[in-house]
Structure 1
Amino acid sequence: MIGVLCLGVCLAAAVPVHAVPQDRRSDHEAARAGRMEGRLLPLRAIEARVVPQMERQGARYLGFDFDSGTGIYTLKFLRNGNVIWIDVDGRTGQVLSRSGG
């Protein structure tokens, strides 16, 4: 029993903490391919349009998600303990929706 427990702990320690789930990895690869092919704006360009405006409203930028199926970036912010999600079209940079907060 102790040997099984030790094996489980050793195996858990072997998995990198920073490992990215497969579906997230493929979304990031799709975003990169879209940028390289000129179909998507670079994330930095989208952030440059949205982040300063949200920071002026007192929100702190947390990061983003990308949906390769729709080409939509979801930028996440925190303000007064509430999470705000901003959906941005990766092709045009247009803000599509805002929810939360």
Structure 2
Amino acid sequence: MKRVLLCLSMIAAVSTVADAWPRRSDQYQAREMRREGGPPLRDIQRQWRGRMPGYDYLGSDYDPDQGSYRLKYMRDGSVSWVDVDGRTGREVRRSPR
């Protein structure tokens, strides 16, 4: 009986660890996309810097499902963002200005 309980507790522990195992990070997936020929994030950031005059750049997020970056900007206390295709650097969607 003790062995059965020990085995069951070990199975539960292993499944908990497997669930907590980190999935591919956004950074890793962005790096993989770059290897496939997409522009690096810093080039996309540089490209958009001139297109958002008067805005402060806050940072970016990567959406691996869409293969796009969300660039975040702020002006006058209001946050705006631009979704950019990670392979081409072209605008996919923009929040209202």
Q: Residue in 2 aligned with 1:66?
A: 62
**Counterpart residue identity of residue 44, structure 1:** R
Aligned-pair Cα RMSD in Å: 1.6
Asked whether the equivalents of residues 33 and 86 of structure 2 are also in contact (C-alpha less than 8 Å), the reply is no
Residue of structure 2 aligned with 1:43, choices 41, 46, 51: 41
Q: Residue in 2 aligned with 1:91?
A: 87
Whole-Å separation in 2 of the counterparts to 1:52 and 1:62: 15
Identity across matched positions, percent: 47
Q: Which secondary structure state, in structure 2, belongs to the residue aligned with residue 53 of structure 1? A: coil
**Counterpart residue identity of residue 26, structure 2:** D
> What are structure 1's unaligned runs of at least 5 residues?
1-21
Whole-Å separation in 2 of the counterparts to 1:100 and 1:91: 24
Whole-Å separation in 2 of the counterparts to 1:35 and 1:42: 6
Asked whether the equivalents of residues 82 and 100 of structure 1 are also in contact (C-alpha less than 8 Å), the reply is no
Flag the structure with larger Rg: 2
Deviations 1:35-68 (A, max 9, x none): 1232x210011111111221x2x10000000011
In the TM superposition, what is the alpha-carbon distance from 1:34 to its structure 2 partner?
Answer: 1.2
Asked whether the equivalents of residues 67 and 87 of structure 2 are also in contact (C-alpha less than 8 Å), the reply is yes
Q: Residue in 2 aligned with 1:34?
A: 33
Q: Structure 1 residue runs of 4+, over 6 Å off?
A: none
> What are structure 2's unaligned runs of at least 5 residues?
1-21
In the TM superposition, what is the alpha-carbon distance from 1:97 to its structure 2 partner?
Answer: 1.2
